[in-house]
Amino acid sequence: MSVTLKQVFNKDKTFRPKRKLELGTQRFELHKWAQASLNSGVDLKSAVRLPCGEDVSDWVAVHVVDFFNRINLIYGTVCEFCTEKSCPVMSGGPRYEYRWQDEHKYKKPTALPAPQYMNLLMDWIEMQINNEEIFPTSTEIPFPKNFIQICKKIMCRLFRVFVHVYIHHFDRILQMAAEAHVNTCYKHFYNFSIEFNLIDHKELEPLKDMTSRMDL
């Protein structure tokens, strides 16, 4: 990370606190392993593959939490420019509009301003990853049967953050010279999603052209 980026990301701009893995736990070790292989110059396609002998749910859990933290930080750097006025609907250009739906207030898909949508989205993901029954902190507790299904939904929603940031707020990312950082995070996220088939192809559509131009 460059000095500028360190300054940008340390400026207390985190959208919300990060969820940390407990030090010394098996999953923390896996997280460290994943980080180390990323920093060792291994290409991203190989880095995302399940290490021999590891459990796929553990591997996905570690990555989903990590992607949430990183994407949350990325949105945090543009969130002051993402307002009800600048982004009255949560969209990815004129062709894609996202509607929010949950089990509480918005039982029917509802068009919302982007900042409101993002808040609900981040809150929802945070609730999932802090739920011990879904993301158990102890390896003694098994993952639920629908774990991968929940992770697919989280990844799909996180992808929408990339869509919105790339299409509507990339000027801000460029101003901060953070594009290399955002691109690396995106490439890692994209390769991981493809490797484990976590996002439907139609969801990837809004960034398809951009992705095809990237050196993945």
List interacting residues with Zn ion (CB under 5 A).
82, 87, 114, 168
Q: Which is nearer to Zn ion, 160 or 181 (CB)?
A: 160
Q: Which is nearer to Zn ion, 21 or 118 (CB)?
A: 118
Torsion sign, CA atoms 107, 113, 117, 120: negative
Minimum separation from the CB atom of position 171 to Zn ion (A): 11
Taking the C-alpha atoms of residue 27 and residue 189, their distance in angstroms, rounded to an integer, is 19
Minimum separation from the CB atom of position 77 to Zn ion (A): 12
Q: Which is nearer to Zn ion, 51 or 93 (CB)?
A: 93
Element (H, E) at 121: helix 114-129
Q: Which is nearer to Zn ion, 27 or 168 (CB)?
A: 168
Tokens of 42: 């291994």
Minimum separation from the CB atom of position 89 to Zn ion (A): 10
Tokens of 91: 């969209």
Give residue for tokens 């801000």: 172
Element (H, E) at 111: strand 110-111
Minimum separation from the CB atom of position 91 to Zn ion (A): 8
24: left (phi over 0), alpha (psi -120 to 50) or beta: left
Q: Which is nearer to Zn ion, 31 or 164 (CB)?
A: 164
Instruction: Provide the 8-state DSSP code for 132.
Output: T
Phi, psi of 204 (to 5 degrees): -80, -15
Minimum separation from the CB atom of position 75 to Zn ion (A): 9
Taking the C-alpha atoms of residue 175 and residue 206, their distance in angstroms, rounded to an integer, is 23
Q: Which is nearer to Zn ion, 114 or 161 (CB)?
A: 114
Q: Which of 146, 167, 165, 156 is nearest to 189 (CA)?
A: 156
Minimum separation from the CB atom of position 138 to Zn ion (A): 38
